[in-house]
């Protein structure tokens, strides 16, 4: 497309009449256009399009051109004159002055086919572009490479990359003659907006550099949540109109914006408009489709969405299926340990704090959030503030993360104008968390979510409510159609724990009964998140009231659940555990840290996998207790009563493992424990102990597999049990 064709196309898009007319009474270089104007009646413009010029200053060429322009100037009645040219090179100062005297304004191609932001005209004005660049500059110091995957239309990974920002920015900055949409997906907090800001900054900087050199360039245009006027409804056409009014230095119609996009003079950057995309199918079916399939279109669009939208927005899924070749899909990957290390080194200047951050984000219980950029940043803030962040403080940390995410969404205004209070939304999330947990963490049915929405919203608003609720950051797309999952284990655990806490904290006669019925139904101890968060949300006085009295509504499973919750509370170490009816209970996996357990009765308890760390166990009783991989570390056991060890399997004492009852008896006697008068357990055949020790190379004491195979030498090596036959003979027998 030459300069004349571009000019005609451009002014036609701006709504001028006459852009395509070729008049015999004017030179072929001239375009005479007009448009109704409220201020001046009719806006008339004379556009002289100069396609070519000499390679050097040519006075005779300039003189002839001035005569032609003078004839045009003499004919004009009113209107403005523009002399459009690729660049000003090889034009003499005298020629430029003559043009000015004739009333012609010289405009170069790079400046005519561009619409400046308000902040470019007035540095004191803050618009979206300036805000994005400010955010990107603020984040630059701590920005790390963001790993990503390239997906196919089936949303399966085909390739991996080390840094999305560099890859996409370089791709967008390359000159292209083909239209393309770059779809960036990921769960909330993974770093989409940070990547969006950094990509925009790189593309805008490249645009400014090329424009300064008067080269053809592409201006990035950002569409953001601030451009949603929710009173008018979430329609994409309204978002575009609002953007043009708020951001551009001169009045533009959407048709002009489309021209910029289709000609490759602008690119569209879209972030945070999930609610609009979900409610307005015309975005994909019409607007994006037209941009991609227009004649010689060069349109480039960066579209950032939460991956939950893939399941909740049918028009997006259909668009992905139908737009192969026009669509590149990227998914931001969770932060790896390497990413977290890079971030710690840039964010935390203190080496001790860096080690603390790495330690807390590599704890297995924390794996569901440690790959999330937003969560990592909040954790780093906690560490940088000097607060102790360790395994025992994880529940409190998770509570802060959850509440921060919730408040983040309310601050965005996504849930405005739903005629709902914040507490209604919270109760809805609690109900989903309860359903998710009690259904063994199965994907959440969107139709079922819709039915729950009817309980908190009128029929008029229920569909609008569900569309916005499923866009919340807590949900991601599921492999099963028409379902969602919680993006992190944390969310399901937090909302379920909050639901249980709200039941117990309710001021009604059936609160204890309802709470006990709930915790009797499932094994909470399988998830330390639920247990730990419950310990923070429920006043310990309420928990103790139920546990001490052995509440009539509490069964064995419920008692175990409640016991583990109390263990996580901040004051657990100072409780008088001897007052609790815990004999004959299943306490496997329980952890007691510096607890005062003087006189506590553990008779008949299952203490497999239990840990006693720095506890006072004086005069505690362990008659008939099941010990398997039970850990005693730096404990005081004076006067502790050890009964018949016929349920003994193994102990770990101050880091050393004991696998025979004799060894355990020796330990307890050294600790001044008392062995009861009951008969000691019969001696176990040494060969059996040897076989058990050898096969622990495959299966750990806690039942977890260690390896699938080992060579014969490795199998035969290791400790030899006194009195046992040689290992090779044992194997043959």
- State the CB neighbour count (10 A cutoff) for residue 222: 24
Cα–Cα distance list, 370 to 334, 339, 350, 408 (Å): 8, 10, 20, 19
Residues 632-663 pLDDT 10s = 999 998 888 887 777 888 888 888 888 777 77
* pLDDT confidence band for 687 (50 / 70 / 90): confident
Residues 6 or more apart in contact with residue 139 via CB below 8 angstroms? 194, 197, 198
pLDDT of residue 222: 96
- What does the block give as tokens for 614? 């720095």
| DSSP 3-state of 698 | coil
Average pLDDT rounded to a whole number, residues 475-493: 78
Average pLDDT rounded to a whole number, residues 160-187: 93
pLDDT reading at 390 higher than 80: no
Cα–Cα distance list, 559 to 520, 524, 546, 600 (Å): 8, 11, 9, 17
Average pLDDT, the chain: 83
118-332 in CATH: which number?
A: 3.40.50.300
Q: How far apart are CA 72 and CA 87, in angstroms?
A: 22
Count the residues in the chain: 733
Residues 289-300 pLDDT 10s = 999 988 889 999
Residue 441 near residue 492, CB atoms below 8 Å:
yes
Secondary-structure class of domain 573-683 per CATH? mainly beta
C-alpha closest to that of 418 among 382, 458, 376: 458
Residues 38-84 pLDDT 10s = 655 678 889 999 999 998 999 999 999 999 998 888 877 677 899 99
- What does the block give as tokens for 541? 């006085």
* Residue 330: strand pairing partners: 150, 184
C-alpha closest to that of 302 among 190, 215, 224: 224
pLDDT of residue 664: 79
* pLDDT confidence band for 684 (50 / 70 / 90): low
Residue 486 near residue 477, CB atoms below 8 Å:
no
Residue 602 near residue 585, CB atoms below 8 Å:
no
DSSP helix, strand, coil percent of the chain (3-state; round to 5) = 45, 15, 35
Which of 12-21, 315-324, 406-415, 477-486 is the least confident region? 406-415
* Residue 85: strand pairing partners: 50, 108
Residues 575-597 pLDDT 10s = 888 888 889 999 998 999 999 99
C-alpha closest to that of 485 among 473, 493, 477: 477
Average pLDDT rounded to a whole number, residues 254-273: 92
Residues 6 or more apart in contact with residue 311 via CB below 8 angstroms? 317, 446, 477, 478, 481, 482, 483, 484
Q: How far apart are CA 666 and CA 675, in angstroms?
A: 10
Radius of gyration, alpha carbons of the chain: 36
Residue 622 near residue 639, CB atoms below 8 Å:
no
Give the start-end residues of each E strand in 311-433: 327-332
């Amino acid at each position: 497309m030459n300069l004349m064709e571009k000019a005609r196309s451009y002014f036609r898009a701006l709504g001028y009449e006459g852009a395509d007319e070729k008049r015999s009474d004017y030179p072929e270089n001239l375009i005479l256009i007009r448009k109704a104007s409220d201020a001046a009646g009719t806006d008339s413009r004379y556009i002289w399009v100069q396609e070519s010029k000499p390679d050097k200053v040519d006075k005779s060429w300039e003189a002839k051109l001035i005569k032609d322009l003078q004839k045009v100037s003499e004919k004009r009645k009113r209107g403005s004159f523009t002399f459009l040219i690729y660049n000003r090179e090889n034009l003499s100062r005298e020629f430029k002055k003559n043009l000015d005297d004739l009333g012609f304004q010289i405009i170069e191609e790079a400046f005519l086919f561009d619409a400046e932001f308000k902040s470019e005209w007035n540095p004191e004005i803050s618009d979206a572009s300036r805000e994005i660049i400010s955010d990107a500059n603020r984040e630059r110091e701590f920005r790390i490479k963001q790993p990503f995957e390239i997906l196919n239309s089936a949303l399966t990974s085909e390739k991996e990359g080390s840094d999305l920002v560099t890859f996409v920015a370089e791709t967008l900055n390359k000159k292209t003659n083909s239209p393309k949409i770059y779809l960036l997906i990921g769960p909330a907090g993974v770093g989409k907006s940070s990547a969006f800001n950094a990509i925009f900054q790189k593309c805008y900087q490249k645009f400014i550099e090329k424009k300064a050199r008067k080269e053809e360039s592409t201006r990035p245009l950002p569409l953001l949540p601030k451009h949603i006027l929710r009173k008018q409804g979430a329609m994409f056409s309204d978002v575009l109109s609002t953007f043009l009014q708020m951001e551009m230095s001169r009045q533009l119609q959407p048709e002009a914006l489309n021209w910029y996009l289709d000609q490759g003079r602008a690119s569209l950057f879209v972030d945070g408009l999930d609610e609009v995309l979900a409610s307005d199918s015309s975005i994909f079916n019409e607007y994006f489709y037209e941009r991609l399939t227009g004649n010689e279109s060069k349109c480039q669009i960066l579209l950032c969405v939460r991956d939950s939208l893939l399941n909740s927005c049918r028009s997006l899924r259909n668009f992905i299926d139908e737009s192969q070749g026009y669509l590149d899909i990227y998914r931001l990957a969770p932060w790896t340990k390497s990413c977290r290390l890079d971030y710690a080194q840039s964010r935390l200047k203190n080496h001790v704090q860096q080690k603390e951050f790495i330690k807390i984000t590599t704890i297995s219980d924390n794996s569901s959030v440690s790959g999330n950029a937003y969560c990592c940043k909040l954790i780093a803030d906690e560490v940088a503030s000097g607060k102790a962040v360790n395994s025992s403080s994880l529940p409190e940390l998770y509570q802060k993360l959850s509440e921060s995410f919730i408040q983040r969404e309310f601050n965005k205004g996504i849930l405005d104008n739903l005629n709902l209070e914040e507490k209604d939304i919270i109760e809805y999330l609690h109900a989903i968390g309860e359903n998710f947990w009690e259904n063994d963490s199965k994907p959440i049915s969107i139709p079922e979510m819709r039915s729950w929405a009817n309980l908190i919203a009128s029929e008029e608003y229920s569909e609008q409510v569900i569309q916005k609720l499923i866009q919340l950051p807590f949900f991601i797309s599921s492999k099963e159609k028409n379902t969602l999952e919680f993006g992190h284990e944390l969310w399901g655990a937090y909302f379920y724990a909050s639901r249980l806490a709200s039941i117990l904290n309710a001021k009604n006669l059936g609160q204890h009964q309802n709470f006990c019925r709930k915790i009797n139904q499932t094994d909470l101890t399988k998830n330390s998140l639920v247990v730990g968060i419950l310990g923070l949300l429920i006043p310990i006085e309420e928990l103790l009231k139920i546990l001490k009295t052995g509440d009539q509504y509490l069964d064995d499973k419920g008692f175990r659940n409640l016991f583990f919750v109390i263990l996580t509370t901040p004051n657990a170490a100072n409780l008088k555990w001897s007052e609790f009816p815990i004999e004959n209970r299943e306490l496997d996996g329980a952890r007691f840290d510096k607890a005062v357990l003087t006189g506590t009765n553990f008779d008949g308890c299952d203490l497999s996998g239990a840990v006693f760390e720095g506890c006072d166990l004086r005069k505690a009783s362990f008659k008939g207790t099941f010990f398997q991989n039970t850990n005693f570390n730096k404990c005081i056991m004076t006067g502790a009563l050890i009964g018949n060890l016929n349920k003994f399997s193994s102990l770990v004492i101050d880091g050393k493992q004991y696998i025979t009852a004799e060894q355990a008896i020796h330990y307890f006697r050294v600790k001044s424990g008392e062995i009861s008068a009951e008969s000691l357990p019969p001696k176990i055949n040494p060969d059996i102990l040897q076989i058990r020790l050898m096969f622990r190379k495959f299966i750990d004491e806690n039942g977890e597999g260690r390896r699938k195979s080992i060579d014969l030498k490795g199998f035969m090596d290791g400790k030899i049990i006194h009195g046992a036959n040689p290992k090779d003979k044992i194997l043959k027998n």
